[in-house]
């Protein structure tokens, strides 16, 4: 049974080699690009699987099959020939960061923080492992066959695999048992810093040790060699540590460390390919591992290797040797009258030195000596120019300095605001929006100033903002703030209208009251003497008449009173019963 399986695997590898020119690249948007390295062009694009950043892509042994995981918690199986999703399922409750396919291609390891082993036929979880406290960054199988060969092999039970996580200084080794009990790591490898690149030689025979090369974030390479044979309590330390440093010659006596970026074992398993130096111009070197030393420091002068091209380019430029006696004519501004001064000699330099007690010339005087118009240099109102405003704004945002931010953001001039926003770098746009959101929640006066900045940011940097995948959560606070403010706008406008009518009516009534009244008294009265005498006689007659009338009125009133009394008595029946009283009254 063993023979045909092995042959089949070799034929699969040969088929894969034919398609090794296809490179799968996951993007931050969620799509996957298939790039042909032979043709040097994009072959196809896989869309519709993820709606967030792709964290890991893995080719299956089958040519047309590709697996990917994303921040959207899902794992997707792709058919690369049709460029369509074959299957999609939820991999974890949080983002899935790493994938690894088993040697036989029937199982899949996925990891966020916990590690899961999936059956690719049923898409169900086969085993659970505790994993790491942080997101897993690397997963790989360390064995192809189980160490205990007495039991029949089902393709996965008895295999070991390795995992590393960000900010974790331990690489854990896990063992896949037949039962579900063992969920913890069986052993671990200790490194000096977070692992950024891991490569290993897979052990195919029972006695063959696993060789492990781990590149850490501090630029060191750790080599481990260990036979995986069950549980080990203490973390294993490295057999050899490799570092690279500069020789420390050419003026700089102290050697400087050169970071190792990646390392990979060659096919003979006795030599390593090292990648070190700068990420934009890496140097790749083959190193043999015959040494038995625990610490190796390789001395490499990377400056000479990297600066060969630049030196060759610079030698083509010839600089003329200028004589002190020759007069050099320099093209200048039209109408520029200042003579071009030759470089000062040693004697003149000594004269320029200030003596103690002398006052230093001001910058204005120096500019005057250079025949430059000082008024042109100074800006109106003594304000800094908009480019310096942009620099100040970026500095304030980076250092979170309230004083600088207040100085810049409290400007009222529309022109300065627009120019500052236009000149600021793109990376400072989101921090500026966060700062503006914070200030919008404060004083209404400051909010009115911040709105001007917001308007300029949205109009000038709309194209950049639209490319950000996580824009909605970043601007959520601002959006809610604006919505809550706008809700009251209708009510406020109604209130404003009513108050406006009231105020205008009150003002109109006050304006009417303030009008001066017309004086209706006669300015000139003309009276004759005859009219005065007649008037006095008439008054006398009127007085007499009134006196006589007064007497008559009194008599009439008395008579009417008597009549009333008699009528009352008659009504009450007094006149019939008491004749005596009648006579008395008569």
Tens digit of pLDDT for each residue in 155-186? 788 888 999 999 899 999 999 887 767 788 99
**Residue 379 pLDDT:** 45
Asked whether residue 551 carries a pLDDT value surpassing 90, the answer given is no
Task: Say which range, 48-57, 323-332, 426-435, has the weakest mean pLDDT.
Answer: 323-332
Task: Give the pair of three-digit tokens for residue 330.
Answer: 């320099």
Q: Return the minimum-mean-pLDDT range out of 338-352, 436-450, 504-518, 557-571.
A: 338-352
**DSSP bridge pairs for 25:** 33
> pLDDT grade, residue 203 (50/70/90)?
confident
For residue 381, is pLDDT > 90?
no
CA gap 162, 140 in Å, rounded: 5
pLDDT band at 388 (very low <50, low <70, confident <90, very high): confident
Q: Can you tell me which residue has the tokens 């006795």?
A: 270
Q: Are 371 and 335 in contact (CB under 8 A)?
A: no
The CA distance from 458 to 421, in Å, is 10
| Long-range contacts, stretch 480-484, CB < 8 angstroms, 24+ apart | 481/437, 481/440, 481/441
Q: What is the pTM of this model?
A: 0.51
Query: Does residue 87 surpass a pLDDT of 60?
Result: yes
Does the pLDDT at position 533 exceed 80?
no
Helix (H) or strand (E) holding 388: helix 386-399
* Mean pLDDT (whole number) for 351-378: 58
Lowest-pLDDT choice from 188-197, 235-244, 517-526: 517-526
Q: How far apart are CA 60 and CA 65, in angstroms?
A: 5
Residues 271-328 pLDDT 10s: 899 999 888 889 999 998 877 788 988 888 877 665 544 444 445 556 666 666 776 6
Average pLDDT over residues 485-509: 89
**Domains of the chain, first to last:** 97-299 (2.130.10.10), 389-484 (no CATH)
Percent of the chain residues topping a pLDDT of 90: 28
CB-based contacts of 314: which residues, under 8 Å, 6+ apart? none
Q: How confident is the model at residue 16, as a pLDDT?
A: 45
Q: Nearest to residue 78, comparing CAs of 127, 22, 117, 39?
A: 22
Three-state DSSP at 5 gives helix
What is the reported pLDDT for 407? 85
Q: What is the pLDDT of residues 220-235, one digit of tens each?
A: 999 998 888 888 889 9
Alpha-carbon separation of residue 153 from 9, 62, 147, 209 (angstroms): 16, 22, 10, 20
Euclidean distance between the first and the last CA atom of the chain, given in angstroms as a whole number: 165
Q: What is the pLDDT of residue 472?
A: 82
| Average pLDDT score over the chain | 78
- Give the mean model confidence (pLDDT) for residues 492-499: 92
Work out the angle at residue 498's Cα, subtended by the Cα atoms of residues 493 and 501, and round it to the nearest 5 degrees. 125
Average confidence (pLDDT) over 429-438: 88
- The residue-averaged pLDDT of 91-102 equals 93
Burial label for 105, CB within 10 Å (0-12, 13-18, 19+), is middle
Ranges 418-432, 474-488, 538-552: which has the least confidence:
538-552
């Amino acid at each position: 049974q063993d023979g045909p399986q092995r042959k089949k695997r070799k034929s699969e590898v040969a088929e894969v080699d034919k398609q090794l020119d296809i490179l799968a690249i996951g993007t931050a948007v969620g799509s996957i690009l298939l790039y042909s390295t032979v043709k040097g062009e994009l072959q196809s694009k896989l869309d519709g699987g993820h709606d967030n950043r792709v964290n890991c892509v893995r080719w299956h042994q089958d040519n047309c099959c590709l697996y990917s995981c994303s921040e959207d918690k899902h794992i997707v199986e792709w058919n690369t020939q049709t460029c369509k999703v074959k299957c999609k399922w939820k991999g974890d409750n949080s983002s899935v960061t790493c994938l690894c396919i088993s040697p036989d291609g029937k199982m899949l390891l996925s990891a966020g923080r916990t590690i899961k082993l999936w059956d690719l036929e049923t898409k169900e979880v086969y085993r659970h492992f505790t994993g790491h406290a942080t997101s897993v960054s690397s997963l790989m199988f360390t064995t192809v066959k189980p160490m205990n060969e007495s039991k029949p092999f089902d393709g996965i039970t008895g295999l070991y695999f390795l995992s590393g996580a960000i900010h974790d200084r331990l690489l854990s080794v896990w063992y896949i048992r037949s039962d579900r009990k063992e969920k913890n790591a069986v052993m671990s490898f200790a490194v000096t810093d977070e692992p950024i690149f891991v490569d290993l030689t897979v052990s195919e025979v029972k006695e063959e040790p696993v060789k492990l090369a781990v590149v850490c974030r501090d630029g060191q390479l750790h080599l481990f060699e260990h036979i995986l044979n069950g549980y080990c309590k203490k973390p294993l330390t490295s057999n050899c540590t490799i570092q690279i440093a500069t020789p420390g010659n050419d003026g700089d006596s102290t050697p400087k460390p050169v970071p190792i970026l990646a390392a990979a074992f060659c096919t003979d398993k006795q030599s390593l390919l090292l990648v070190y130096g700068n990420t934009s111009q890496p140097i790749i070197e083959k190193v043999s591992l015959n040494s038995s030393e625990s610490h190796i420091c390789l001395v490499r002068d990377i400056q000479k290797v990297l600066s060969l091209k630049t030196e060759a380019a610079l030698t083509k430029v010839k600089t003329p040797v200028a004589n002190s006696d020759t007069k050099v004519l320099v093209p200048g501004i039209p109408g520029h009258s200042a003579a071009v001064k030759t470089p000062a000699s040693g004697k003149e330099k000594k004269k320029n030195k200030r003596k103690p007690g002398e006052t230093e010339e001001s910058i204005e005087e120096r500019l005057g000596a250079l025949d430059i118009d000082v008024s042109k240099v100074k800006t109106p109102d003594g304000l800094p120019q908009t480019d310096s405003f942009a620099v100040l704004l970026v500095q304030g945002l980076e250092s979170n300095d309230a004083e600088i931010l207040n100085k810049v953001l409290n400007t009222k001039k529309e022109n300065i605001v627009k120019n500052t926003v236009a000149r600021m770098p793109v990376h400072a746009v989101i921090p500026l929006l966060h700062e503006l959101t914070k200030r919008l929640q404060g004083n209404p006066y400051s909010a009115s100033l911040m709105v001007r900045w917001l308007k300029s940011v949205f109009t000038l940097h709309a194209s950049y903002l639209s490319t950000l995948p996580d824009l909605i959560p970043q601007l959520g606070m601002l959006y809610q703030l604006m919505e809550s403010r706008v809700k009251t706008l209708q009510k406020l406008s109604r209130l404003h209208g009513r108050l406006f009518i009231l105020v205008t009516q009150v003002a109109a009534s006050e304006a009417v009251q303030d009008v001066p009244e017309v004086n209706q008294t006669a300015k000139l009265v003309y009276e004759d003497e005859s009219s005065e005498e007649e008037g006095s006689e008439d008054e006398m007659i009127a007085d007499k008449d009134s006196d006589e009338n007064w007497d008559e009125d009194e008599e009439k009133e008395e008579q009417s009173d008597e009549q009333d009394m008699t009528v009352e008595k008659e009504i009450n029946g007094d006149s019939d019963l008491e004749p005596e009283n009648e006579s008395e009254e008569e």
